[in-house]
Amino acid sequence: MTKIITVVNQKGGVGKSTISQFTGNELKSRGYKVLFIDLDPQGNLSYSLGVNILELENSQTIYEPLTNGTDAGKAILKTEQADIIPASQFLASADIGNFALSNALEPLKSAYDVIIIDTPPTLSTLVINALTASDALVIPALADAYSLQGLGQLRNTIEAVQDALNPSLTIAGILLTKYDKRKVLTRTIYKMLKDTAESLNTKVFDAKIRDAIAITEAQAMQQDILKYDPHTNVVRDIKAYVNELEKEW
């Protein structure tokens, strides 16, 4: 059965596109057939996979399947990292019904084991679509007070979707990114995040994704970090996190 995982947090700068890319790359390396969906009009995930959304027609992006009900399969692009349906800059102003993404992805499930959805840093109709279509959520968060505040707002949205649109939606966990265990504040906030996770009926992943120059370099080169620098510490972080994620299935 296909697993649909959305990476979500309305706070910008927490690494949603990075975690989406890492998750799909590592799962593909384990033999899963992976499809990326880029719902962020900025197109960062698309770029990291080698796709420039400014060069695409809307028929080559997720825009038309969401707005016109066209065949999403025709928008799939194959890259060296994995298949992707890229973002469109016009998504931000699109009028999209809550089940548009669910309907678009349904015919694609037989071809993929995992579908990874990257979302914009808002609580928009695009995010509602992603939550409605998903089986599980991964919430990247920084170890700071602003992330705690954002999680409270996100919780309300998730609970509303679970109540009205997708009762089977679960939260796989909160994933700390750009982590630096040497900072006292980080350790304090980490405990507060664990308390917040309990209120969301989820957990903070034991694995934490540290900051690393290799991440920036790999994305600038539009490469999979697992192949770009397989021996860097952050690759070990990624593998540990995906080990935990797989146990949630």
Please determine, for residue 155, whether its predicted confidence score (pLDDT) is greater than 80. yes
pLDDT in tens, 200-242: 889 999 999 998 888 889 988 898 888 988 899 999 999 999 9
CA angle, 228 then 207 then 236, to 5°: 30
Please determine, for residue 138, whether its predicted confidence score (pLDDT) is greater than 80. yes
Residue-level pLDDT at 180: 80
Mean pLDDT of 53-68: 94
Q: Compute how many other C-beta atoms are within 10 angstroms of the C-beta atom of residue 198.
A: 11
Alpha carbon distance 100, 130 (integer Å) = 9
Alpha carbon distance 189, 87 (integer Å) = 33
Count structural domains, the chain: 1
Please determine, for residue 89, whether its predicted confidence score (pLDDT) is greater than 80. yes
Sign of dihedral through CA atoms 173, 174, 179, 183? negative
CB contact at 8 A, 132 and 163: no
Task: Answer whether residue 228 is part of any domain.
Answer: yes
Task: Answer whether residue 248 is part of any domain.
Answer: no
CB contact at 8 A, 233 and 209: no
Alpha carbon distance 133, 76 (integer Å) = 18
pLDDT in tens, 2-34: 999 999 998 888 889 999 999 999 999 999 999
Task: Answer whether residue 27 is part of any domain.
Answer: yes
Task: Answer whether residue 249 is part of any domain.
Answer: no
Name the region of 111 (left: φ>0; alpha: ψ -120 to 50; beta: rest): alpha
12: tokens are 């910008």
Task: Answer whether residue 198 is part of any domain.
Answer: yes
Alpha carbon distance 163, 184 (integer Å) = 38
Task: Answer whether residue 125 is part of any domain.
Answer: yes
Residue-level pLDDT at 189: 79
Residue-level pLDDT at 78: 96
Position with higher pLDDT, 181 vs 119: 119
Q: What is the CATH number of the domain that holds 166?
A: 3.40.50.300
- Calculate the alpha carbon distances from 135 to 106, 132, 166, 206, 248 in Å: 13, 8, 9, 21, 11
Quote the radius of gyration of the chain (alpha carbons, Å): 17
Find the domain containing 46 and state its range. Answer: 3-241
- Calculate the alpha carbon distances from 85 to 39, 145, 177, 194 in Å: 9, 34, 25, 34
Task: Answer whether residue 182 is part of any domain.
Answer: yes
